[in-house]
Chain A
Amino acid sequence: MKQSPQLKQVQENMRPGVLTLHGFLGTDRRDLVEILEDDEAEVRRIGTTHRAIAAKMTALRDRGKEGLGEFIKVEPNFEVRVDSVRGGIPSPFGGPGLIPKTNTTVRNTRLSREIVYTDINIHLIGEHGFYEGKGSLFRLEPHELVEILEISPEEQQTELPG
């Protein structure tokens, strides 16, 4: 598919130094539309949806907040810590205001694997199906999210609440 002028503008917003120091694209040279299409295909191949992935990320983030900045055990086999740093970031797609700079670290103790994601990752995945460009510090691989967050077949069809 050809990149629309709107997506072209969004891709400009994602460049280093526009909204964040490093931007959202890493070393990825593809058009944004290609990045979105490739990740969409990957998510379909896994058999889930962007919203289902974002819903699990949100649920674990919300449980992790109960640890008040320290790791907290979350059943069945997770440890989650939520950290914040000063400030917020606007979405490169525009709306919904500033998104807090919050990091969620999820340790899967059964798999001995860990993944870190931010509130803006949750927004970009849930609302836009964007996992950041290859080589970006905050790029997330859809299959890793599904594996480490153990998104079950039932959860894979979940929509975001509210």
Chain B
Amino acid sequence: MISALMISVGAVSGISAFLAILMVIADATIANYGEVKITINGDKEYEVKGGKPLLGTLMEQEIFIPSACGGRGSCGLCKVTVKEGAGQYLPTELPWISEEEQAENVRLSCQIKVKNDLSLEIPEELFNVKEFQAKIAKVRELTHDIKEVTMELVDPPEINMEPGQFVQLRIPEYELTDEPVYRAYSVASNPSDTKHVELEIRLVPNGIATTYVHNYMREGDEIIFNGPYGDFYLRETEREIIFIAGGSGMAPIKSILLSMAEKGINRRARYFFGARSKKDLFLVEEMRRLEKELPNFEFIPALSDPEEEDQWEGETGLITDVVARNMESGENTEAYLCGSPGMIDACIKVLSDKGVPDELTYFDKFG
């Protein structure tokens, strides 16, 4: 009886799997969706060949939607609003889309296939995003686990961006991956140098992209990236500025500071940078030089666990404690934070307690 039941279940499962595979093959080979029209933001129209995921179809039209997983539906970044034509939500989308987003027809562009005419809405700034070919001009060790990578642009030869924005680096096939993957990194250089883009990349245990950068990337290598993305940039106000970062969170803050120095933006600004010990600190001399160029700027490095040989006389403790100790009222202050989600969440609470309005706390979470 039991064996007959198992045979039946097995047979049904086998047939279902066979039919599913058959449908996938048929969809990929027989189905012909022909030319379809994609309308973006009501006024831009594109004739495209149907049948591929929307993310890749848009990429072919040189419209780049941010995606950190290369279209596998595992980062949830490539959201677009599809007004018409996308059909029902797929099970692979639903974990990423909130009920509010469902009500607004937000979809994961890597998961939905272009089968008929579509009407989309995407942020206008994404039309400024391009794909760039570049050469690795320099790789420099900043700490035992952070490297600075300078890319020299080849085609197009220049990039226009705001300080604080990020790009997506294309990691080619190598020992750990048999297909290219994309990962997002904040730009550390001053955007006025339109011919170069500098990144600061911390080695993540088992990370495909960071392992490539730390162990395989060589000066002279060709690399592809796309960008710029993001709304983490300095707002034009007269408020005091609090910057807080840790580790490779240094990158966008440094870009903003370099830009401030060049433009002569001399607002009162304090930069709290957290590290564990002296060997995790970097670019201190560059920050001291910026202090001279920006008389109202102060760099405050803090070590959470200095070693004896560090002979550290600066601030100690977790960055949240250091900020709380050094900050008075935050009413006339705006804050810019970059780091791990845990660090950012903890800092937001401290800033809020100090009176910094939540809407004036801007952050770039790694997570």
Q: Which of A17, A21, A97 contacts B95 (CB 8 A)?
A: A97
| B68 / chain A contacts, CB cutoff of 8 Å | 85-87
User: Which residues in B have their C-beta under 8 angstroms from that of A101?
Assistant: 367
Chain B residues with Cβ under 8 A from A20's Cβ? 72, 74
Q: Max chain B CB contacts within 10 Å: which of A69, A82, A102, A137? A: A69
CB neighbours of B207 from chain A (8 A): 85
Q: With an 8 A cutoff between CB atoms, is A68 at the interface?
A: yes
The docked-state distance in angstroms from the alpha carbon of A84 to that of B276 is: 17
- Mark each residue of chain A from 50 to 81: 1 if its CB lies under 8 Å from any CB of chain B, else 0: 00000000000000011111111100000000
Selected contact of A89 from candidates B74, B179, B204, B247, CB within 8 Å: B74
| Segment of B35-43, B134-142, B337-345 engaged in the interface with chain A | B337-345
Return the contact of B367 from the options A67, A70, A72, A100 (Cβ within 8 A): A100
Interface centre among B179, B204, B341 (most CB of A within 10 A): B341
A105 interfacial contact with B, CB 8 Å:
yes
Contact for A69 among B13, B75, B339, CB less than 8 A: B339
Best-surrounded residue of A22, A85, A116, A138 (most CB of chain B within 10 A): A85
- Contact between chains at A82 and B340 (CB < 8 Å): yes
- Which bucket holds chain A's interface residue count? 35 or more
CB atoms of A21 and B208 under 8 A apart: yes
Give chain B interface residues in 342-357, CB to chain A under 8 Å: 342-343, 346
How far is it, in angstroms, between the C-alpha of A66 and the C-alpha of B274 when the chains are bound? 13
B274 touches A70 (CB 8 A): yes
Q: Nearest chain B CB to A25's CB is how many angstroms away?
A: 15
The answer to whether A87 and B76 touch (CB under 8 A), given A68-B246, A68-B343, A69-B339, is yes
B77 within 8 A of A: yes
CA distance A83 to B248 in the complex (A): 12
Contact bitstring B176-220, A, C-beta under 8 A = 1, else 0: 110101001000000000000000001011111000000000000
Binding site for A on B (CB under 8 A): 6, 9-10, 13, 68-70, 72, 74-77, 95-96, 176-177, 179, 181, 184, 202, 204-208, 246-247, 274-276, 280, 304-305, 318-320, 339-343, 346, 365-367
